[in-house]
């Protein structure tokens, strides 16, 4: 069963709704120091104090902390983005240092996300930065994508790129894409209902034809230019300045940018993906159901020590993950059950296994961390 990063890390999952902003735990923006810090961009009429507050209350997932992810994350944090989740399974190598400015020789061998969090926290210590040292895949993508306002694709992995696109498309989550091949770059913003990555590239290329920077080469300044463009689009999207999907080709040799139209999505809702997507429930939705006439049965899949610290329902069923499959007879089969754990990772895996046994179930998105943040005890 899949795991994401280290479940012992404190994570605050953000589920923002426009017009119903929750208390921001990342930064107390309206103090003298922060006003001075962001004064130059607050002066812009397109930003202002209201726009700066919006940036402060935006949660973004950055997948890939290499040549694109480094400048993207730096500019987002420097601009006042309050919630940032970084995901990358790679460790720092010597060849990274020429084009990935967050890292130095002393960081070689360390996980990129851990080093990035340390460096970015020095830029904006008030931001909430969550890190996951795992590769994105079909098993963990939904949980990662669901917990943020939008996603920035900085990965050089073709499989992860299409997984991200399909997941974002299936749950109507905005996606900002970036890619590089030698002196050719492309950047796109894909919004629900106005085209997605498969609109431009319907199918993955033949694996034998895929090239990366180790075979084609790349110039560090060009990588930074593409990443900077991604971050600029992210800021505009967070400020509500982008209303439809857009796509750009960047020519590093000529220094030009060409915009092209994004057609309607080739696959509006990928049927094979939607069938395999796990059912999930937000903390606010779960609270309503627990207070209804037909409350769900809660199943806690955490270990005993975790459970002793805090639990959602005193009368819930406790079936630890390590014995979950052997106690299947204790699980109701009417579909009115909700699984939960610390971050929603183990419960999601348990839910997927139940589905394979034709037992319908839901799981708490973000786990008890999300519950404590949104609902409390």
Residue 85's DSSP bridge partners are: 61, 130
Q: Look up residue 34 and give its two tokens.
A: 């922060």
Sheet order of strands, 175-181 included:
128-132, 83-87, 59-63, 150-153, 175-181, 184-190, 246-251, 256-260
Residue 75's CB is within 10 A of a number of other CB atoms, namely: 18
Q: Give yes or no for a contact between 290 and 302, defined as CB atoms under 8 angstroms apart.
A: no
Q: What is the DSSP string of 278-347?
A: PPEE-HHHHHHHHTSSSPPEEEE-S-HHHHHH--S-TT-EE--GGGTGGGGGGS-SSS-EEEE-SSSHHH
CA-CA-CA-CA torsion for 176, 209, 204, 150, nearest 10 degrees?
-20
Q: What is the DSSP letter of 202?
A: -
The Cα angle at residue 173 between residues 200 and 30, in degrees rounded to 5: 125
- Which of 338, 331, 341, 328 has the alpha carbon at shortest distance from 301? 341
Q: Is 275 exposed, middle or buried (0-12, 13-18, 19+ CB in 10 A)?
A: exposed
Q: Give yes or no for a contact between 79 and 232, defined as CB atoms under 8 angstroms apart.
A: no
Q: Which residues are known catalytic residues? A: 213
Q: CA 138, CA 286: separation in Å to the nearest integer?
A: 25
Q: Look up residue 259 and give its two tokens.
A: 């915009």
Residue 150's DSSP bridge partners are: 60
Q: CA 96, CA 104: separation in Å to the nearest integer?
A: 9
Which run of H or E residues covers position 70?
helix 69-79
Q: What is the DSSP letter of 89?
A: -
């Amino acid at each position: 069963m899949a795991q994401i990063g280290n479940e012992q890390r404190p994570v605050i999952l953000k589920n923002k709704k426009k017009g119903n902003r929750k208390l921001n735990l990342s930064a107390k923006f309206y103090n003298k120091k922060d006003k001075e810090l962001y004064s130059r961009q607050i002066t812009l009429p397109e930003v202002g104090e209201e726009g700066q507050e919006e940036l402060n209350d935006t949660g973004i997932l950055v997948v890939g902390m290499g040549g694109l992810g480094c400048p993207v994350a730096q500019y987002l944090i420097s601009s006042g983005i309050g919630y940032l989740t970084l995901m990358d399974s790679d460790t720092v190598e010597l060849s990274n240092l020429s084009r990935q400015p967050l890292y130095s020789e002393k960081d070689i061998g360390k996980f990129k996300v851990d080093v990035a969090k340390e460096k970015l926290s020095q830029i904006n210590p008030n931001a909430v930065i969550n890190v996951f040292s795992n590769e994105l895949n079909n098993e963990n993508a939904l949980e990662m994508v669901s917990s943020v306002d939008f996603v920035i694709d900085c990965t050089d992995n073709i499989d992860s790129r299409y997984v991200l696109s399909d997941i974002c498309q299936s749950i109507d989550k905005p996606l900002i894409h970036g890619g590089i091949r030698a002196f050719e770059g492309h950047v796109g913003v894909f919004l629900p209902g106005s085209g997605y990555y498969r609109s431009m590239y319907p199918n993955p290329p033949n694996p034998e034809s895929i090239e990366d920077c180790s075979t084609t080469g790349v110039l560090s300044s060009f990588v930074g230019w593409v990443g900077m463009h991604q971050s600029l689009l992210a800021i505009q999207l967070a400020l509500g300045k982008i209303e439809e999907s857009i796509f750009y080709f960047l020519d590093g040799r000529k220094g030009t940018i060409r915009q092209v139209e994004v057609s309607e999505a080739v696959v509006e809702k990928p049927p094979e993906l939607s069938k395999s997507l796990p059912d999930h429930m937000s903390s606010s939705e779960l609270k309503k159901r627990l207070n209804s006439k037909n409350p769900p049965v809660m199943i806690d899949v955490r270990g005993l020590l975790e459970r002793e610290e805090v639990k959602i329902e005193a009368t819930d069923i406790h079936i630890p993950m390590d014995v979950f499959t052997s106690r299947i007879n204790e699980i109701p089969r009417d579909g009115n059950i909700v699984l939960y754990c610390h971050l929603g990772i183990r419960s999601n895996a348990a839910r997927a296994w139940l589905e394979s046994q034709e037992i319908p179930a839901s799981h708490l998105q973000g786990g008890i961390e999300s519950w404590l943040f949104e609902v409390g005890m």
